[in-house]
């Protein structure tokens, strides 16, 4: 128990030190602040319908307004072509962005990490089969394939879109994790685990997995940004879930109803939010990358 306790203490010390480096990084700090703002928007999306059913993002309609109207005290961002409140739609879009981005990124990272570790540790035939599968999926353009599937299968719901994005985004992660696993399995602590009688399952998930987890988390931040953008593009092109209010769907509605140049209060907010939330995850990823690779740290920026 003593060696494991000392190892856990060392890991906790490393985590606290990395967090101190991260929070001192202006890029990472800015990304976290932006992410907190969008998190508050996502949590706040549940409040407007409780105040008045008129503020329900999908079914709520102001009985006094029959078309798109500019911002007012009653509707802070104005209303859409049906008299629905745009501010409540914007808040709900933040929730959908988190659901799509984090869920699809998490699935792709878990899938890619497991396949990468199995390929790197197993070697030979298993490695060849898994990596050739990854190569075949990697060369497929994700957005184009999802568009083709949408046109063939009809309107996709939000969870089908999440799953499709995840299934086409794991190969890049798998290849990086495989490279790390190939290096890790030659380390002395893996040999000691084998001598101690540890099973292959325990070696992979108890000894290798914790060492590749930081890199997997780094890739997750970048996968979130791509997932959010892909969902927004699908929705804007008319292949999104029409029963879900997302920022991409808001842009699709403003374009389809001919208000693209007549209602900037409707067009600009979702576009800005898509840009800022993807920027926040990208900035967090960049800060994490500098922590994982000391060569990227600027002199005098972090210790």
Number of independent structural domains in the chain: 1
- Compare 37 and 287 and report the one with higher pLDDT: 37
State the Cα–Cα distance between residues 247 and 231, nearest whole angstrom.
9
Predicted local confidence at residue 293, as pLDDT? 66
Q: What local confidence, expressed as pLDDT, does residue 15 receive?
A: 59
The whole-model pTM stands at 0.86
In a domain, 10, yes or no: no
266 lies in which domain range?
A: 29-55+75-296
In a domain, 11, yes or no: no
Query: Which has the minimum average pLDDT: 118-127, 239-248, 266-275, 286-295?
Result: 286-295
pLDDT recorded at residue 14: 52
Average pLDDT for 118-126: 90
The pLDDT score that the predictor gives to residue 7 is 44
Q: Is residue 21 part of a domain?
A: no
In-domain check, residue 282? yes
Please list, in sequence order, all residues whose beta carbon lies within 8 angstroms of the beta carbon of residue 4, skipping any fewer than 6 positions away.
none
pLDDT digits (tens, 9 = 90+) for 159-168: 988 998 898 8
pLDDT of residue 294: 60
Mean pLDDT of 108-130: 92
What CATH number corresponds to the domain at position 202?
1.10.3720.10
Where on the phi/psi map is residue 300: left (φ > 0), alpha (ψ -120 to 50), or beta? left
- 83 neighbors 67 (Cβ within 8 angstroms): yes
Give me the pLDDT at residue 191, please. Answer: 87
**Tokens representing 184?**
């890790």
Question: Can you give the length of the chain in residues?
Answer: 303
Inside any domain, residue 260: yes
The whole-number pLDDT of residue 112 equals 94
């Amino acid at each position: 128990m003593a060696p494991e306790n000392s190892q856990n203490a060392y890991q906790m010390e490393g985590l606290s030190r990395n967090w101190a480096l991260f929070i001192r990084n202006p890029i990472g700090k800015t990304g976290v602040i932006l992410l907190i703002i969008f998190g508050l928007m996502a949590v706040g999306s549940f409040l407007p319908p409780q105040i008045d059913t008129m503020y329900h993002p999908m079914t709520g309609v102001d009985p006094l307004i029959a078309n798109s109207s500019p911002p007012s005290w009653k509707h802070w961002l104005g209303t859409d072509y049906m008299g629905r409140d745009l501010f409540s739609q914007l808040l709900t879009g933040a929730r959908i962005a988190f659901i799509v981005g984090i869920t699809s990124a998490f699935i792709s990272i878990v899938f890619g990490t497991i396949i990468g570790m199995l390929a790197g540790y197993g070697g030979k035939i298993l490695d060849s089969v898994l990596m050739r599968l990854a190569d075949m999926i990697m060369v497929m353009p994700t957005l184009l394939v999802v568009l083709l599937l949408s046109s063939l299968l009809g309107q996709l719901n939000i969870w089908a879109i999440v799953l499709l994005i995840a299934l086409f985004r794991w190969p890049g992660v798998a290849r990086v994790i495989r490279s790390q696993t190939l290096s890790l399995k030659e380390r002395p602590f893996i040999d000691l685990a084998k001598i101690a009688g540890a099973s292959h399952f325990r070696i992979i998930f108890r000894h290798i997995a914790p060492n590749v987890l930081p890199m997997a988390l780094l890739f997750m931040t970048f996968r979130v940004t791509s997932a959010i953008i892909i969902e927004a593009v699908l929705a804007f092109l008319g292949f999104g879930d029409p029963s879900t209010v997302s920022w991409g769907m808001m842009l699709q509605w403003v374009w389809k109803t001919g208000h693209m140049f007549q209602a900037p209060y409707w067009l600009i907010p979702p576009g800005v939010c898509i840009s800022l939330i993807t920027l926040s995850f990208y900035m967090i990823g960049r800060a994490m990358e500098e922590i994982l690779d000391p060569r990227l740290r600027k002199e005098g920026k972090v210790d």
